[in-house]
Amino acid sequence: MATTKKNIHPMEALLKTARPPRISKSQEQEAIIISLSNKGVLFDIGAKAHAVLGELEVKEISTYLPYLKEGSKIKVRIVTPESKEGYPVVSMRKFFQKGKWEILHEKKEKEEEIEVICGDYGKGGVFIDFMGIRGVIPKIQLVENYMNHPEKLNRQKIKVRILEVDEEKNRLVVSQKAAVLGISQKELKARFKKIKEGKIYKAKILGVSEFGAFCEVEGVEGLIHISEISWEKVSDAAEFLKNGEEIDVYVVEKNESDLKLNLSLKRLSKDPWDEIEKKYPKDKEVKGTVVRKEKYGYFVKLEPGIEGLIHVSKLTGEEGFKLEQEVKVFIEKVNKQGRRISLILPQKEKPVTYR
């Protein structure tokens, strides 16, 4: 005898198929934001009732409101599957910890602006805060009226564009200039590509610091490190370079990762050490100027970029040279590779140590 299927009412079948999934405590769940405000957030997590954000986390939500919107999908964790009031309670803690980095990556990709709060000014630039993530605006990335007085940005809210974001390194670098002037990464990359290593370009000095000078070359950021300013020793870049002046620079290197240039001023002139052995042969008598005293002797400047050392072992201890004093010396030894010259003072008889 043939068996017959039991007739099921269509509504009963619909209810069976539409039964909401079971949720459990600590479960990770994708949620859709239904509504959000300072007072709370309502989510659709596919349960029989909409879920709400835990009371403690509601206090934090105001920081994130500008970066969230109704219809957005985010990961939440179930705190309580069903509260006394009958609805699930969820946590956005993972989003608070990880989601803000995702926002930053997305904003960088789309070249959209973010709003940050400025803090103190330090060596690296103006420190900023974005949803608890600390970042920096390099001095060169400030608009001109703040570049000379970056401390005026303290506690201000400003719009910026993201230059670098790296969660692993906890690194966030942004630009006020890019936001104000509407400079896109695509445009910056095109400018960067046109610049060639080993070529000479006009550069405008935008700022001078203890480690060099920040420049702009055809709209691209560059740095003349203090060691690349002159062949002679430079202790203060401001003695050689001034804000606002335009100079010729040599492009030493292009950093593809951050679209920055390493520049040189000294390489526009010949390295005085190239023919050092020919110009300063052993036993030659020369005049120089005492430029500094160290524990191990006196440094004497023979010409710009060329200094020699009178080692303490070659001194009697009674010399008492003063800075800027002109002295007569003999070349004892030249080390071109190490860029060092050993000097001795004239004397009636050569010391025993002299070879």
Measure the CA–CA gap between 334 and 331, rounded to whole angstroms: 8
Instruction: Provide the pLDDT for residue 10.
Output: 53
The three state secondary structure string of 61-94 is: HHHCHHHCCCCCEEEEEEEECCCCCCCCEEECHH
The pLDDT value recorded for residue 62 is 78
pLDDT of residue 21: 63
State residue 9's pLDDT score: 53
Q: Where are the beta strands (DSSP E) in 2-150?
A: 28-37, 40-44, 51-53, 73-80, 89-91, 114-122, 125-130, 133-137
Cα Rg of the chain (Å, integer): 34
Report the distance separating Cα 205 and Cα 223, nearest Å: 9
Provide block-wise average pLDDT over 10 residues at a time, the chain (355 residues).
49 51 81 89 89 86 79 89 88 80 88 92 88 88 84 92 91 92 86 95 89 90 94 89 93 90 95 92 94 93 94 89 93 94 80 50
Using alpha carbons, select from 281, 294, 292 the residue that is nearest to residue 341. Answer: 281
- pTM for the model: 0.62
Q: What is the pLDDT of residue 15?
A: 46
Helix, strand, or coil (residue 266)? helix
User: In this structure, which amino acid lies at residue 353?
Assistant: T
C-alpha to C-alpha distance for 238 and 253, rounded to whole angstroms: 23
Strand partners, 250: 200, 264
**Cβ pair 198, 251 in contact under 8 A:** yes
Q: Which domains does the chain have, with CATH numbers?
A: 22-91 (2.40.50.140), 105-181 (2.40.50.140), 187-268 (2.40.50.140), 276-344 (2.40.50.140)
Cα–Cα dist 204/331, whole Å:
41
